[in-house]
Amino acid sequence: MTNKPMPEPTPVSAPFWQSLREHRIRIQYSPSAEQYVFYPRILAPRTLVDDLEWREISGLGTLYTFTVGDRPTAPPWSDSLPQLLAVVEWDAGPRVSTEIVNAQPGELKVGMRVQPVFCDYPDDGITLLRYELEN
Amino acid sequence: MGLRGEAAIIGMVEFAPQRKPTRTPRFSIEQWALLSASALADAGIDASSVNGLIASGISESDRFAPATLSEYLGIPINYGEVVDLGGATAAGMVWRAAVAVELGLCDSVLVMLPGSRDFPTSSRRPAADRGYFGASSNNYGSPQAEFEIPYGNLGQNAPYAQIARRYASEFGYDPRSTAKIAVDQRTNACATPDAVFYGKPITVEDVLASPMVADPIHLLEMVMTCHGGAGVIVANAEVAKRSRNRPVWIKGFGERISYKTPTYAEDLLRSPISQAAQTAFGMAAIGRDEVDVASIYDCYTITVLMSLEDAGFCEKGKGMEFVSSHDLTFRGDFPLNTAGGQLSFGQAGIAGGMHHVCDGARQIMGRSGAAQVSDCNTAFVSGNGGIMSEQAALILQGD
């Protein structure tokens, strides 16, 4: 168990969380806009077209930005310092909020290649999507 | 499209911010009444011309804020509004008030932001748990609850640091330049007796030696929440004539809202103030070089730096050079946040955004005391809510 707040999938987002449980990444795609979409929505953002479909992506991407948090962003993270809070830009296009794991703060640089790390929380039925530097 | 410039700020109130509250605890509707009475007294008019009010939320009621306030103040209104734009709320309220006045809906509009969380405490009900989610929402169905908070991405410090980090990678980063913003504003606070850091000058070395809270942002580059409150009265020309203050005409405004979490910004380094400022300057038909004082929302130094660039005061990516090569104090060649800004005057919660409106108006009225900029006629004011995600700009001018 964890005392950190965990996500609760919604009817629309459930396929995303289901794919993470399978250690795969599926996000939405709008054929009319020719764009991947994240986070999951009921209609395509910008156009509001009703054509979103689920597609699997590799989840590989680059480190768009990050910060090294030496003070917890909230009490549940007080024993998880430093927090390596990151934004990853997927090769598929959209950006995703995440944390970097298996790395030293000093080695992080904007633009680095990163790869997914699937972190299972069986008690919560949730898999979180974290990132590490690409091998 | 735009304002004719026929609505003016004619009175203002800004309670001196306090780190530890010593004033009598008051509910937010009580603070609203006290702020309104102070601003009316400042303008030298009575309440008879007031027929509009603009609020943010009130603490005593989750809904029906305008009606609750109208009833409590005993003032029926033709226009009641709630603005929910975080740190851009104050600037957003002022332009809405100006629009209501120019449309002829209202003669005078109360625009108040209570800024003390020191409320009377109930002996029967437990104090509400404010939680740790801050401006993030952990409600079921909230995108932040699902995609941000589980990774610890909440609050303000980390996302602003992410913006600064990205800025560094695209344009370079000189910590002495961002520190100088805090230092020059502190100089201004030291000429402003109501400032929470009055009498406490700092140096660039002090800023760089302060703890690194979220790399690259130091403690002295972040606002500290205080108790206070601020507001203005916006009125038509007829009421303005009866005011004892030099009218501060609202000549231009702009507003732009584009995301809540910066992860989803189209371009993290081109903030919405660029469109808002462009609209405001176009409406006022003046150039950047005609601005006598700039009062720029300053929750963090990186916010000021990027706002200067995106509002068009310097070239994109040259903000570090700009702040290093200009004296940003009230005596300088680019007076910025002349009462200390929120960094050094103090951020009274949501009223912090109103500090910048008051700073600009006070300078144009010629009431800034030791920090007065000579021959000050034009002010640029910015508001910034969320994580540089909702921003507003105002152009204020004296006759």
pLDDT single digits (tens) B208-220 = 999 998 899 999 9
Instruction: Tell me if A3 is assigned to some domain.
Output: no
Q: Are A42 and A98 found together in one domain?
A: no
Q: For the segment A40-85, what is each residue's pLDDT rounded down to a tens digit?
A: 999 999 999 999 999 999 999 999 999 999 889 999 999 999 999 9
Sort strands B50-55 and B79-82 into parallel, antiparallel or unpaired: parallel
Task: Give how many domains chain A has, as a whole number.
Answer: 2
Domain finish residue from A57, A77, A92: A57
CB atoms within 10 A of CB B329: 22
Q: Are A96 and A133 found together in one domain?
A: yes
Question: In the prediction, which pLDDT does A1 show?
Answer: 39
CB atoms within 10 A of CB A101: 13
Instruction: Tell me if A5 is assigned to some domain.
Output: no
Question: In the prediction, which pLDDT does A2 show?
Answer: 54
Query: Which two tokens mark B126?
Result: 């437990």
Residue of B112, B116, B117 whose CA lies nearest to B13: B112
**Phi-psi label, residue B369: left if phi above 0, alpha if psi -120 to 50, beta otherwise:** left
Domain with A41, as residue range(s), is 10-57
Separation of alpha carbons B5 and B313, rounded Å: 23
Residue of B164, B161, B179 whose CA lies nearest to B220: B179
Q: For the segment B153-190, what is each residue's pLDDT rounded down to a tens digit?
A: 999 999 999 999 999 999 999 999 999 999 999 999 99
Q: Are A41 and A84 found together in one domain?
A: no
Sort strands A35-37 and A83-90 into parallel, antiparallel or unpaired: unpaired
Burial A59-79 (b: 16+ CB within 10 A, else e): bbbebbbbbbbebbbbebbee
**Which one-letter amino acid corresponds to residue B58?**
I
Question: In the prediction, which pLDDT does A3 show?
Answer: 84
| Nearest-10 Cα torsion for B166, B207, B134, A125 | 50
Instruction: Tell me if A2 is assigned to some domain.
Output: no
Tell me whether residues B141 and A10 touch, CB distance under 8 A: yes
Interface membership of A21 toward B (CB under 8 Å): no
**What is the share, in percent, of chain B residues with pLDDT greater than 90?**
95
Q: Are A133 and A70 found together in one domain?
A: yes
Whether the CB-CB separation of B273 and B299 falls below 8 Å is answered with no
The strand pairing partners of A91, in sequence order, are none
Q: For the segment A93-133, what is each residue's pLDDT rounded down to a tens digit?
A: 999 999 999 999 999 999 999 999 999 999 999 999 999 99
- Interface list for B 138-167 with A (CB within 8 A): 138, 140-141, 143, 145-155, 157-158, 161-166
**In this predicted complex, what is the ipTM?**
0.96
Residues of A in contact with B169 (CB under 8 A): 65, 109-111
CATH of domain B7-119+222-397: 3.40.47.10
Residue A79's CATH number: 2.40.50
CA distance B263 to chain A (A): 6
Separation of alpha carbons B208 and B182, rounded Å: 11
Whether the CB-CB separation of B148 and B92 falls below 8 Å is answered with no
Q: Are A46 and A71 found together in one domain?
A: no
Return the domain boundaries, chain B. Answer: 7-119+222-397
CB under 8 A, 24+ apart: contacts of A42-45: A42/A12
Cis peptide before A40 (omega within 30 of 0): no
Q: Are A79 and A19 found together in one domain?
A: no
In degrees, rounded to 5, the angle at the alpha carbon of residue B214 between the alpha carbons of residues B213 and B215 is: 110
Residues B263-275, mean pLDDT to the nearest whole number: 96
Q: Are A90 and A134 found together in one domain?
A: yes
**What is the share, in percent, of chain A residues with pLDDT greater than 70?**
99
Q: Are A130 and A69 found together in one domain?
A: yes
Q: Are A69 and A116 found together in one domain?
A: yes
Which of A13, A63, A85, A118 best tests the B interface by mutation, with the highest count of B CBs <10 A?
Answer: A85
Which of A87, A108, A129 best tests the B interface by mutation, with the highest count of B CBs <10 A?
Answer: A87
**What is the share, in percent, of chain A residues with pLDDT greater than 90?**
96
CA distance B29 to chain A (A): 30
Run of H or E including A40: none
**Alpha helices for chain B (secondary structure H):** 28-43, 65-73, 89-102, 143-147, 157-171, 175-189, 204-209, 237-242, 273-284, 301-310, 319-325, 341-344, 352-365
